[in-house]
Structure formats: C-alpha cells, structure tokens
Structure 1
Amino acid sequence: MFYGVDSEASLNPPWEAMRSHKFWNHTAEYFPLKIVKTAELSTKNNYLFGWHPHGILSVSAVAAMCTDGAGFRDLYPGITRYITTLTWHFKFPLRRHLMNIFGVIPVSFRSLTKVLSRSGGGNAVTVIVGGADEALECHPKVYKLCLNRRKGFCRAALVSGAHLVPVFAFGETDTYKQVPNPKGSIIRAIQMKFKYVTSVSPVLAYGTNIIPFVPGVVPLRKEITAVFGEPIPVTKTKHPSWDQIHELHNLYKEKLVELFEAHKEKYGISHDTHIDFY
C-alpha cells in the first residue's frame, strides 16, 4: 500500500473512461478552455510538453491534460498523456491513487525518463516548468517565466529521446488575482521563506464565488487558449554533456518565444508585450 513515489504503480496508464466523462466538457466550457494545434504529433515518438505559464493553480494544464474536456484526444489521437506534480503528493495513498487515475505522476527525473523511454512511442508528459517560483510572479497580463535555471526537463528529453513541445496557455494568468507582492516587500519575504521550508508557494490570491462579487477560490471565468507548438526533434543521448543540455535549452526558449509572438495578438496581448525570462 505504501509503495514509493517513483514505483511502477505510480506510473500506470490513466483511466481513460474517467478522464473522458462528459462532466469535464462543462469544466472546459466554464472558462472556456480550448486547445490550438499547430503541428501533428506522430505516435511513433514520445513527447515532453513544456507548459507555460504556471499561473496560480495551473487550471488550464489540469483541465486540458488530466481530462478530455478540451478535446486533446480528438486533436492528438493515439497519444497517452501524463502530467507531473511535486513528489510529496504521492506519499498519501488515497491522493496518490486518485492522481494515478488522471495520469498524474511525480515530477522526478526517474519518473520522466521512465515514461518517456517507453518503447513504441505515443506517450506525452506535461511539465509545468515554472513551478512554485513562477506562481509568485502570476498577475494578470504579466508574462514572467521562470526558465533560465530550469534545465532538468531538457536533460530528461535528451536521455529519453523525447521530442520537446512548447505550450503556451494564453489567459492562464487572468484566472486569479494575486495580492501585490513585489520583490523586496514583506509579503514576498514571508512567501519565499515559506517556500524554502515547504517547497510550496503560499500565494495570496483570489478568484470568484457562487455569490456574485464576493472573492473566493473558484477561478475567474476568463477565456484560456492553450497553443501547442511544433515538436523540437531530440536525439537520444544516454549521457548528455552540459553543452548539449544548454544548447537544447536555448533552442527551446527560442521556439517558445516564437510561439508566443506568433499568437499573442490573437488573444488580446499588445504587440509591445514580450516574455520576460528569469
């Protein structure tokens, strides 16, 4: 019952009947959330989806990748998808089994490479690259992405030979409003200390409620469009060098910027707004 967080049981295929229930269609329609496909994904390959931005609760990634509400399976047939989260979630048996049903796996190097190295292809793992750090920078119409130091996902792609796919969810940062927390403020200092101890970002954010005009935990009803970019081919490299990881990381950043710039004005973002990496 208390198997390890990276055990085979934690990496089982998701329960598609649960993920495809019609209930999830209503979840996607709430925002509404839609997926835009820019390229085909061959089922002969495995893929690592880099999802941006993190937002407060990553509602677009969860709704699009844990369920079929946004129509992923129709757009990319034959791709079995997974999504990652912090490993400590898997220490609790009931929560672990529930996450397994929806294809949630630990965000560890071992878990990533184990799934992405499966023979036959047709597997995709989503990593919300910015993580807890980026959640603290989440404000409407702000596009600060924590990516400069995040290179582990590129190493996992190289070791497994999984192709990289940048994904940008336009509207994700509009689903919650966060209390102002500029760097240097007391609020930010407390948040960073808490995150250092627990690995969890204590965001002070609010959405809506069943009572009109009363703040709550329900995401704001804002349109979200997740645009999937073209896959970046990756050659399997058992022991990648630092230079190889750095080169792939730079290429990934370039393709992510291209994706953002090509689509931003369609979704209400001004021509002068750009991604700010840190």
Structure 2
Amino acid sequence: MKTILAAYSGALKGTGYSILSSLQDLPSPPWPALRSKMEKHLQVIAVLQWVISFLTMGGRRSSWVRNWTVWTYFRDYFPIRLIKTHNLLPSRNYIFGYHPHGIFSFGAFCNFGTEATGFSKKFPGIKPSLATLAGNFRMPILRDYLMSGGICPVTRNSIDYLLSQNGTGNAVVIVVGGAAESLDCAPGMNSVTLNNRKGFVRLALQQGSDLVPVYSFGENNVYKQVIFEEGTWCRLAQKRLQKILGFAPCLFHGCGLFSDSWGMVPYNKPITTIVGEPITVPKVEEPTRDMVELYHAMYIKSLRSLFDKYKTRFGLKESDILHIQ
C-alpha cells in the first residue's frame, strides 16, 4: 500500500511516475493467502485512476516522447507541415481554434501533440496542449500515452487550469467543430462547424487568453466518406449515436495496408497547417452576450481571411470558399 501511495504522491508532484508504473512494485503474495490484500491494492489503483488530479492539470508532458523518431515517419507519410504566420508572446496565453476536424485530426496531433513539425522551434516559449475527449483518459495505457504528448481532456476544469493557474506561454488547442464537423468531411470539402460554437470564445474572454485561428489544408482529403443528406434517416441515426457515444460514427475508408484496396490506412495526401494571427482578447470575468458575439464574429472573419490568403497555395482555386455552418 505504501508503494501505491508513494506513486500517487509522486504523480501529483509531477515526478513523471504514474500509478500504472507502481504495478511492477506490487508485492507477490503467496496464493491464496493474501488474495484479499492484493484485491484491495487493485481496488485502490482502480479508484485512483479516476480521481487523480493531474488529469485536470494538463497531464504529464514528456519532451522525450514528443521527440520520438516515429513521429517524423508519421509526419512524412502524408506529409504534414506547420506554417507560422505571426509571433506568439510567451507572456500571453492562447486558445487555438483548429479547423477542420477531419476524421482523426491528424494535423492537430502531429503539429501540437508531437515535435515532428518543430512547434517549439517555431514558437519558442509556447507550450501547446491539444484537447481531446475526456473519455480517452479513462483507459490507463492510452491515458499515459496521451498525457506524455501534453494532450489534455477537453473539459472546463482542465482548460481553466492551463489558462489561469499554469503561468503563461500556454496554448490550448481545441478542435472547435468536434464530432459534428467530422460528419461533413470528404476530399475537396471546405466546411467547418462554427456558427453556434461560442463556448471557446466565452472561455477566452473569462481567462483573457488570445484567440488564434488555425486551418489545416488537406485534413479532409486523407479519407473518403459517405455523407448523408440532412434529414435522412441515416443522418439522424449518426447524430443520435453521436450524442450517445460522444463521437460521430462516420462511414469512411482509406486504402489497404499493402495495396490500393479499401482499408483503414489514410491516403498519403499532404496536410498543411497554418497558424494565423492572434486576436487580442481582454479579460472579462462575466462577459455579456454581445461581447461574446463580437469576438466570435472577429474570429470568423480572421479564419475566413486566413483561408482565403493561403487557399491557392495548397491546391484550391480562387473561387473556392470556406463554408461555415
């Protein structure tokens, strides 16, 4: 029991040891004499993995994991690029709005969950934290894997901590369109779900964190998807399951592992992520609806401008427009 509590205490202090690592130190009692004691140990571990507080503190970032060589192979498969347009100040905190979601948000993970595209060199003094579904952090092995990349749960507590109690130089990356947006992704489509997504703007105002629009050209091109029309029973079923499961059950495919047949492997289409100009946001603890609407409109205008400025450089035509719904 002391071993378990030591691991728990160490984790809270950020020493880099997880509760899972304490499993190797658990005693090996004679069977079955100390069965109940062993079961008690396992029960404590099971409870702690739910209540441990460092999940709300942005996880346990590991520079070693973020710089694994495997991520360069991941990057080069598509390939994925990160383009900086403006400097970011380490004295400020930021909320990055990432668009579009795509099927798996490969660009978001590669650029902000690893160092494969050189985020820290491009933005010195800024620590990115990619926010993802909180449910992913309830699976022990996956949880540690995600936290080592600086990935955090997309929960109010986690984001509040990063933007208010973790100093400055933090950039929380939120895939604003979420699961709903993934239902509308397909090659050649430039559509984002944003008109009614205003919570991230309110949060930015409450924390005084600057808003940064981010657009990934090519994110929608790596899988083909059957898109059902609004109002059809298939679309309604997808939305219903989305509410139950927390993610959208998309009907998609890529290529096969060793051939051009259908499979789960994404097509190797280039993804280029553009980090736009930050929008300075004041700190207002109780922002009014009009204030939220104002900064939301400013954000949409900035995102459109970013898309229009770079679209012809990455395979789109001048006549292509960004559809915002």
Alignment of 1:1-278 (within 5 A): 1-4=48-51, 7-10=53-56, 11-118=58-165, 120-278=167-325
Q: Distance in 2 between matches of 1:24 and 1:215?
A: 25
Which amino acid counterpart does residue 226 of structure 1 have in structure 2?
Answer: T
3-state secondary structure, aligned to 2:255? coil
Identity of aligned residues (%): 35
Structure having greater relative contact order (Cα 8 Å, sep ≥ 6): 1
Higher helix proportion? 2
Runs of 4+ residues over 6 Å off in structure 1: none
Give CA-to-partner distance per residue, 1:58-86, whole Å, 9 cap, x none: 11101111111111111112211111112
Q: Distance in 2 between matches of 1:162 and 1:74?
A: 22
3-state secondary structure, aligned to 1:220? coil
3-state secondary structure, aligned to 2:262? coil
In structure 1, the gaps of 5 or more residues are none
3-state secondary structure, aligned to 2:96? strand
Q: CA contact under 8 A between 1:117 and 1:162: conserved in structure 2?
A: no
- State the TM-score, normalizing by the size of structure 2: 0.82
Q: Distance in 2 between matches of 1:122 and 1:180?
A: 39
Number of corresponding residues: 277
Which amino acid counterpart does residue 70 of structure 1 have in structure 2?
Answer: T
Q: Distance in 2 between matches of 1:116 and 1:93?
A: 26
Q: Tell me by how many angstroms 1:134 deviates.
A: 0.3
Q: Distance in 2 between matches of 1:47 and 1:138?
A: 26
Q: CA contact under 8 A between 1:81 and 1:124: conserved in structure 2?
A: yes
1:148 to 1:273, Cα distance in 2 relative to 1, 3 A: same
Q: CA contact under 8 A between 1:109 and 1:152: conserved in structure 2?
A: no
Q: Distance in 1 between matches of 2:76 and 2:184?
A: 27
Which amino acid counterpart does residue 30 of structure 1 have in structure 2?
Answer: Y
Give CA-to-partner distance per residue, 1:129-180, whole Å, 9 cap, x none: 0000000000111112110111111111111111111000000000100023
1:119 to 1:87, Cα distance in 2 relative to 1, 3 A: closer
C-alpha RMSD of the superposition: 1.5
Q: Distance in 2 between matches of 1:120 and 1:111?
A: 14
- State the TM-score, normalizing by the size of structure 1: 0.95
3-state secondary structure, aligned to 2:277? coil
Which amino acid counterpart does residue 105 of structure 2 have in structure 1?
Answer: S
Q: Distance in 2 between matches of 1:129 and 1:193?
A: 20
Q: Distance in 1 between matches of 2:85 and 2:308?
A: 14
Which amino acid counterpart does residue 54 of structure 2 have in structure 1?
Answer: E
Q: Tell me by how many angstroms 1:12 deviates.
A: 3.1
Give CA-to-partner distance per residue, 1:35-75, whole Å, 9 cap, x none: 11100011111111100000011111011111111111111
Which amino acid counterpart does residue 48 of structure 1 have in structure 2?
Answer: I
Greater radius of gyration (CA): 2
1:119 to 1:88, Cα distance in 2 relative to 1, 3 A: closer
- Greater shift in the superposed pair: 90-99 or 18-27: 90-99
Q: Distance in 1 between matches of 2:92 and 2:243?
A: 37
